[in-house]
Amino acid sequence: MKTFFTVGEMALTDAMFFLISGPCVIEEESLTIEIATELKAICRELEIPFIFKASFDKANRSSINSFRGPGLQAGLAILQAVREKVGVPVLSDIHETVQAEAVKEVLDIIQIPAFLSRQTDLLIAAARTGLPVNVKKSQFMAPEEMSLVVKKLEESGNRRILLTERGTFFGYQNLVVDFRNIPIMKRTAYPVVIDAGHSVQRPAAAGSISGGNPEFIPMIAAAGIVAGANGVFLETHPEPEKARSDPHSSLPLKNMKTLLNRLKKVYNTA
């Protein structure tokens, strides 16, 4: 068994894939804790390492009128509540360098959004917190380019790195996953995550919001594991149609246990 590094008190290893999951954006505190509690229970039963994710600010929404989240301070307070009441490590994204210092006392992992994965100053600021950093490969980048992202983080003193595949633009309003990207990014020797939800997005295809094909989420997740992914990123919501962000790329919470049980079987036979 290979151990990559620890997240909080949890070790990430190659013995089982780990799950990064939660709602796209933080809504009410009670709903956030409800989702985290349910996911923890499922993952504990299936013995799958679990990291809760939710964004305190979605700074790259399609429309200026889209819900962005509660903001930095209110959002961190809710994530701290999840950490303390549910007892799971938490992940959220930052969009500006000044946010790195603000989040480091609450988060267990800092995430760099795909559109910002080449922003050198942001990568350096995240790396210097000492926290693990999950970088989503931009939709316009080749997988080989992620080695340059890794070098920026390493030279900033951080070797607790995750790389996430979330699809590539091939034409307007469409993303396609090239599963070769997973083994190519694994050449960096860092764990790679398949983002099965955002990979089915249709950017801006639903007017002022992104559309998507959520029926393909289970297939993308399973194929990612077969291709060698160490982790699975899934956004979930009790009622995706009512989610205030990314309703078309979120899996119903009630479907999570069935999917994770299937993915565990795939991982054990891949």
Q: What is the tens place of the pLDDT at every residue in 198-213?
A: 989 877 555 555 667 8
Tell me what pLDDT residue 204 has: 59
Q: How confident is the model at residue 112 (pLDDT cuts 50, 70, 90)?
A: very high
Does the pLDDT of residue 195 top 60, yes or no? yes
Cα(219)–Cα(223) distance, rounded to whole angstroms?
6
DSSP annotation of 109 reads: E
Among the residue ranges 75-89, 90-104, 122-136, 236-250, the one predicted with the least confidence is 236-250
Does the pLDDT of residue 167 top 60, yes or no? yes
Kindly list the distances between the CA atom of residue 177 and the CA atoms of 189, 202, 219, in Å, as whole numbers in the listed order.
21, 13, 11
Does the pLDDT of residue 177 top 60, yes or no? yes
Q: Which amino acid is at 236?
A: T
Cα(91)–Cα(123) distance, rounded to whole angstroms?
16
Tell me what pLDDT residue 172 has: 76
Q: CB within 8 A of 55, min separation 6: which ones?
A: 24, 25, 26, 69, 75, 92, 93, 245
What is the average pLDDT across 141-160?
98
pTM: 0.95
246 and 24 Cβ atoms separated by less than 8 Å: yes
Tell me what pLDDT residue 209 has: 57
Tell me the per-residue pLDDT of 26-42, one tens digit each, with 9 for 90 and over.
999 999 999 999 999 99
Tell me what pLDDT residue 211 has: 67
Tell me what pLDDT residue 100 has: 98
Tell me the per-residue pLDDT of 210-235, one tens digit each, with 9 for 90 and over.
667 889 999 999 999 999 999 999 99
Domain residue limits at 13: 3-269
What is the average pLDDT across 127-140?
97
Kindly list the distances between the CA atom of residue 103 and the CA atoms of 61, 109, 182, in Å, as whole numbers in the listed order.
21, 9, 29
Indicate the number of domains in the chain: 1
Q: State the CATH number of the domain containing residue 225.
A: 3.20.20.70
